[in-house]
Structure 1
Amino acid sequence: MTLAVRVPEELSARVPAEQRGPGLDRDAVRLLVSRGTDVTHHAFGELPRLLRAGDLLVVNTSETLAAAVDGRIGRARVVVHFSTRGDDGRWAVELRDPDPRGATRARAGGPAGTDVGLPGGLRLVLEEPLSPGSERLWWARVPGARESSPAAGVRGLMREHGRPIRYSYTERDQPLSVYQTVFALPAADGTGSAEMPSAARPFTLRMVTELVSRGVQFAPITLHTGVASAEAHEPPYPERFAVPEASARLINAAKAGGGRVVAVGTTAVRAVESAAGADGVVRAREGWTDLVVTPERGVRVVDGLLTGLHEPEASHLLMLEAVAGRAAIDRSYEAALQGLYLWHEFGDVHLILPEERPHTEHCASNCR
C-alpha cells in the first residue's frame, strides 16, 4: 500500500513534546481517532475517555538501545547502526554516512569483507547481506567480542560509545532516556530495540494509572525492533519477540468478555498476531517472527491500533489497512495532513478503533 500523499517537511516533529514549551510532558501530543471513515480530533490526554472498561492495551516492553556507533573504513568516517543480534552472535548492521547536521544519510552497503574500525580497538567485518536482493543491511561479526553479559562485546560498546539512532528531520541529539517508553524494561541478556517502539512514547505513569482505574487492562509483550530506514517497498525482516503466558491469557479473556484488544504500536500487532493460531487464540510463544501482516492475511486478534503517522510508502501501512481497511486509512491520513498533525517518533498519534455498530433494542408488545 502506498498513499498518494506527500508529507511536507514542516510536519516532521523535530523535538519531543516535552521540549516544545514550559510545563509540557510527553503526553502533550494530538490524537487522531478513526472509526472506519469517521475521523475525530483529540488531545492524547483524552485517551482514557475513548476506551472503556474491559478493553485491553497490548504494550511492548523492549528497551531502546544506544545503537548508533561511530566507526571508520580506512580514513572515511561512517556510522554503524546495530540493528538485530542473531542467534549465532552476529549482528545485522546498517552503515551510514555522517550528515553535516549531526544525523546520518544512506550509503551503499558492502562489499563482503569490509572492515570497520570501532572504538575500543574493536573491528566489525561485513559477511553477507541480510536479505537477498538488498544490500542495505548486512550480517557482520565483531571478531573476539564476547557477549557473555550485557557489559561485554557489542552491548558494552553501545553502552560506552553509542547514542540513540536519529534521522535528519530531528533537530539535535537527545539523551537515551528520551527514547525510552514508560513500559520499557531492561532485558537480562542486554537485548533491546535499535529504535524506540514509539507509539507508546506519549504514555506517562499518570496516564497508565488513570486507564487502570477506569478498568482498562495492559498485556505486556516484547518485540525487539530493528532499524526503520528501509528502502522503498522493502518488506519487514525477522525480529525477536515473546508473548508470555500471562499476557496470552489476558488477551484471550478480554476477547471472550467482549473487550477490544488494542495494540500499542505495529510491533505489538506483529508479536500478538505471530502468537495467534488460525482459531484466533493467543498462545505463549517466543523466538523469531517473519510475519508480515497484510490485508490479504488480515488480523486474527487485534481489534484496534494506536500508532504513529507513517511515511506514504512505509510497509507498515499494509498492517494499518489490514486492521481498518483502505478507505479508512486514506481518510485518516487526509485528515492528518489537513489538520497539520506531526509525523515521526516525536509526533502525534493515531488511534484506530472498530466502527461502532448501531445498537437496536427489540421490545415485546407489552414493553412500556
Structure 2
Amino acid sequence: MTTTFTVPPELSASEPPEVRGLARDGVRLLVARARGPVRHTTFAALPAALRHGDLVVVNTSDTEPAAVDGHRADGTPVTVHVSGPAPDQLHVVELRTPDGHRVTDGAAGEGIALPCGVVATLLTGHPDPRVVSGSRLWRARIPVAGGLRPWLAEVGRPIRYPYVPRPWPLDAYRTVYARAEAEFGSAEMPSAGRPFTPAVLQALHARGIGVARVVLHTGVSSLEAGEAPLPERYRVPEETADAVNATRAAGGRIVAVGTTTTRALETVAAPGGRVRAAAGWTHLVLGPGRPARVVDGLVTGWHEPGASHLSLLEAVAGPRLVTRAYAAALELGYRWHEFGDSCLLLPAQSVRRPG
C-alpha cells in the first residue's frame, strides 16, 4: 500500500446522514477517473457517472446485531463483537471495552457472562491458534439453546466504534438491498452500499446499467494497520457470473460496490477475467502481487491509513488514482466511515483478453 495520509478526527461521520437532513443518496460522491479532473457531486448522480452497458455489482449480505454486553469473571463490563462462524461450531469474537476500545488481556479458557445465562468461552487466538493470551480475535464457544442468531436478535445491537457516540437502530446499518439468509450474515454493514436508494437503482436501470448481486459475509472491520484480511464466506450466483461475462464481452465495465463485492468477484476470476459461479471461503488478498482481473471500477467509502482495504483499492485503480482521490477528499472535507461520503474510482479500462 503506497497511499499515505492522516484523517483529522472531525472528518469521522458520527451519525447517519439522515440525522443531518440528508437522504441516503444525498451524501457526497467524489468521482475520480484516470483521465480528467476529480469531480464532486452527490451519490444520487452515480448513474450519470456511469455508461450504458456497465454492470454494477452489489453485496446483499445482511447486517447482524453482533455486539453483546457482558461481564468478565472479575465483574468488569465488556462488549463481545461476534465476527462470524469458525469451524467446529465455534465463532470468532472480539472483546471491547464499553466505550469501544480493544481488550488486550483476554486469555484462553476465560469465560464471559452474557445475557440470558449464556457464557462465551475463549478457546484459542484467531487466526493463529497458538496464541493463548492477548489476541485481538478469539475462537470461542457460545452455546445458546435455540441458536445464536435468534438470541442475538433479542439481546444484541449493531457494532459501533468510538467515533459514533450514540446507538442507532439496526436499520441504519442495513443497505436497501440487503437480504436476510439462513446463515449468519455480516458482523458489520457492507457500508459502500449504504447510500443506494430505490431511486438510484431505478435510475441505473433507466440508463441501461445492469445490477447484479453477490454475497460476502464480512467480519469485524477493526483490523490492525498492516493486518491482512481474514477468510470470509462468499457466494457468486450463476446469473451474476453470466451477467459479468456478458458485460465484459460487450465492452461494458464491471463496477463493484465495496471491497467485499470486489473480493468475491476476484475470488472467482480467471487470469483472463472470466468469472465462474462458486461459493465457499475466500482467502484472496488483492494487492501488488495480485491485481484486479475483472473489476474495472469501484464504489467505495473512505478507509483509514494503513488499512488493507487501501491495497485492494490500489489493486483495482492503481496507487496514483487512489492517492489523487484521497488528497481531494481530505482537502474538501469528505466524511469518513460507514455514515460518511462516497467515492467512485474509474481507472482506465484494461484491454480485454478472452476469458
TM bin, normalised by shorter chain, reads: over 0.9
> What is residue 80 of structure 2 aligned with on the other side?
80
Q: CA deviation at 1:356?
A: 7.3
Q: CA deviation at 1:354?
A: 2.4
In structure 1, the residue corresponding to 2:241 is in which secondary structure? helix
Instruction: Give the partner amino acid of 2:79.
Output: V
Q: CA deviation at 1:153?
A: 2.4
Residue 334 (structure 2) pairs with residue 341 (structure 1): yes
Give a deviation string over 1:99-156, Cα, whole Å, max 9, x none.
Answer: 1xxxx1111153110101110111100111112268101100024x35xxxxx32212
> What is residue 198 of structure 1 aligned with on the other side?
191
Mapped to 1, the partners of 2:25 and 2:272 lie a distance apart of 37
Instruction: Give the partner amino acid of 1:244.
Output: P
Runs of 4+ off more than 4 Å: none
> What is residue 317 of structure 1 aligned with on the other side?
310
Mapped to 2, the partners of 1:131 and 1:219 lie a distance apart of 32
Give a deviation string over 1:247-280, Cα, whole Å, max 9, x none.
Answer: 0000110000111000000000000001112232
Q: Cα gap change, 1:356/1:283 in structure 2, threshold over 3 Å: closer, same or farther?
A: closer
Map 1:56-95 to 2 at 5 A.
56-74=55-73, 75-95=75-95
- TM, length-normalised to structure 1: 0.91
In structure 1, the residue corresponding to 2:262 is in which secondary structure? helix
Q: CA deviation at 1:305?
A: 0.3
Mapped to 1, the partners of 2:208 and 2:334 lie a distance apart of 30
Larger Rg: 1
Conserved? CA contact 1:57–1:263, under 8 Å: yes
Instruction: Give the partner amino acid of 1:259.
Output: G
Q: CA deviation at 1:4?
A: 2.8
Map 1:218-367 to 2 at 5 A.
218-355=211-348
Mapped to 2, the partners of 1:280 and 1:252 lie a distance apart of 8
Segments of structure 2 that go 5 or more residues without pairing to the other structure are 351-355
Q: CA deviation at 1:301?
A: 0.5
> What is residue 353 of structure 2 aligned with on the other side?
none
Q: Provide the aligned C-alpha RMSD in A.
A: 1.5
Give a deviation string over 1:184-227, Cα, whole Å, max 9, x none.
Answer: 000023x1100000000000011101111111111100000100
Mapped to 1, the partners of 2:88 and 2:235 lie a distance apart of 19
Q: How many residues align?
A: 344
In structure 2, the residue corresponding to 1:49 is in which secondary structure? helix
% identical aligned pairs:
52
In structure 1, the residue corresponding to 2:189 is in which secondary structure? coil
> What is residue 127 of structure 2 aligned with on the other side?
131
Mapped to 1, the partners of 2:142 and 2:17 lie a distance apart of 37
> What is residue 105 of structure 1 aligned with on the other side?
101
Conserved? CA contact 1:109–1:136, under 8 Å: no
- TM, length-normalised to structure 2: 0.94
Q: CA deviation at 1:355?
A: 3.0
In structure 1, the residue corresponding to 2:40 is in which secondary structure? strand
> What is residue 360 of structure 1 aligned with on the other side?
none
